[in-house]
Chain A
């Protein structure tokens, strides 16, 4: 196995008197989907917020591509090729679907000076945006308003918006939240496709079935600690994992 490109090391986060994360470590590798699961309140999103420098850890480091990213402004992370999606899909209702993708790349004509000179984005970029919309199955809605999308389609569009920037790392916070079951399969296919291009994926997920089929490696968090990690099939048989999920399990797997 190649060296981990995302390295979370001994992260500890304390909110007031609550220790949200304790000595948590996690690795992400290029071309691999690392799943992060755990019951409600286990610290999954907190760990994600640490990885995207929204929350500063008390101790520990987060290295992405060999550099320490703790405390870097969020938009700079994105410029380093680290893409993050949110539990609620982000999007721009004032814009059409294709403009939602076109706004993502950093092109010099997008600057104020380019605008004053009357420059447009190159046609090539527009074609590329349409191509990416085709890839996520939204090409027929390209000219429609963002408002017309279902929450599942908004999720696919959010992924498409990151794709046009060619991210090296894609961190997904509950990608199936609000996504209709029939779109979840399409989403999984897209994520596998991204993985096969060598992107490092880390995926927080509640939906164990989705993750079992998708992830190459699973890390289980419970009350702020890693209680198990490894191959999905093995991890989901682990007794401590079953205990942690007891009461949730049937519901989640079904």
Chain B
């Protein structure tokens, strides 16, 4: 294994995952929205980007759409698609709280997966969209990979700054108040639904943009890479780094993706490779069990603000009653 190739890949992947964990931090840590369908928002962005940037289909292709537009248009399309899909899923879901919202988002992700497999004229089904436009293709492969890694790091850095700005602004004060006590916030005239929707949609858009980067990285949009494991990896990284922390999402993504990808270095023969890749899943699960057993989910890196309770259900129930 070539160390430089390994390193550039791992930096890119960590940056993309860090972006996703930051988005989940917005939705879950600051707004109490449990999104178990993250992978669907990633896939929406990935497919939107692929369809907008790929060449029009040839005579033997099953899919019907391809616009051959530049990369930045593709990224914009991913953001818009994420917003649209976010709004579509938020509308029926966000009245729900806690585990009900979790189930709803999970169900949406499953439905979307089924769409990806079956809507062949758009997604090309299980074959996927193979000719994903990658940035810096005019460069040699190695500098191109590093330039792309830099772009991914830039995305993570911008997301980090956006989250910071949102949370430390007067709007962030309102978001924190709503997550602490919805009825208390409503009592001073705050429309809770608007805040929850906005935070959910910002998260969804970031996830879809990260999805565009993810598909540039793997260079193939196919349903088999958009599996629930992606969602759970992001959740584990958030728990690992620290819920509602400033740097936690970055630390969690670096540790978890670093660990997972390092296992690839061990693979020698094809037999062992298959064994290690299934071991990877088992290790990820084991890591989560150990984490939850050893320490409370908040406070792994040191949280800026400690939550009173993780699931303040009783107050949410009251808030639901008052609308």
Q: Footprint of B on A, CB under 8 Å?
A: 52, 54, 73-76, 78-79, 83-86, 90-95, 99-100, 102-104, 106-107, 109-112, 114-116, 118-121, 158, 161-162, 165
Would you call A114 and B188 a contact (CB within 8 A)? no
Would you call A114 and B170 a contact (CB within 8 A)? yes
Chain B residue at minimal CB-CB distance from A162: B188
What are the 8 A-B residue pairs with the smallest beta carbon separation, nearest first? A90-B184, A115-B171, A78-B189, A115-B169, A104-B188, A92-B180, A92-B177, A94-B176
Given A74-B323, A75-B192, A95-B177, are A83 and B187 also a contact pair (CB < 8 Å)? yes
Residues of A within 8 A of B188 (CB): 78, 83, 103-104, 161-162, 165
Q: Footprint of A on B, CB under 8 Å?
A: 165-166, 169-174, 176-177, 179-181, 183-192, 198, 305, 307-308, 321-323
Would you call B170 and A120 a contact (CB within 8 A)? yes
Chain A residue at minimal CB-CB distance from B186: A75
Q: Which one of B171, B176, B308 contacts A95 once the chains associate, using CB atoms below 8 Å?
A: B176
Q: Shortest Cβ distance from A126 into chain B, in angstroms? A: 11
Would you call A74 and B322 a contact (CB within 8 A)? yes
Given A86-B183, A103-B177, are A110 and B171 also a contact pair (CB < 8 Å)? yes
Would you call B191 and A95 a contact (CB within 8 A)? no
Would you call B184 and A91 a contact (CB within 8 A)? yes
Given A75-B190, A115-B165, are A110 and B174 also a contact pair (CB < 8 Å)? yes
Chain A CB within 10 A, most for which of B173, B185, B307: B173
Q: Shortest Cβ distance from A143 into chain B, in angstroms? A: 14
Q: Shortest Cβ distance from B245 into chain A, in angstroms? A: 13
Q: Shortest Cβ distance from A77 into chain B, in angstroms? A: 8
Chain B residue at minimal CB-CB distance from A85: B187
Q: Shortest Cβ distance from B43 into chain A, in angstroms? A: 26
Residues of A within 8 A of B189 (CB): 75-76, 78-79, 104, 106, 165
Q: Which one of B173, B184, B185 contacts A99 once the chains associate, using CB atoms below 8 Å?
A: B173
Residues of B within 8 A of A116 (CB): 165-166
Residues of A within 8 A of B171 (CB): 110-112, 114-115
Chain A residue at minimal CB-CB distance from B201: A112
Q: Shortest Cβ distance from B170 into chain A, in angstroms? A: 4
Q: Shortest Cβ distance from A201 into chain B, in angstroms? A: 16
Given A73-B323, A110-B171, are A92 and B166 also a contact pair (CB < 8 Å)? no
Residues of B within 8 A of A103 (CB): 173-174, 177, 185, 188
Chain A residue at minimal CB-CB distance from B30: A94
Chain B CB within 10 A, most for which of A103, A110, A111, A119: A103
Chain A residue at minimal CB-CB distance from B202: A112
Would you call B305 and A94 a contact (CB within 8 A)? yes
Would you call A107 and B170 a contact (CB within 8 A)? yes
Q: Shortest Cβ distance from B204 into chain A, in angstroms? A: 14
Residues of A within 8 A of B321 (CB): 54
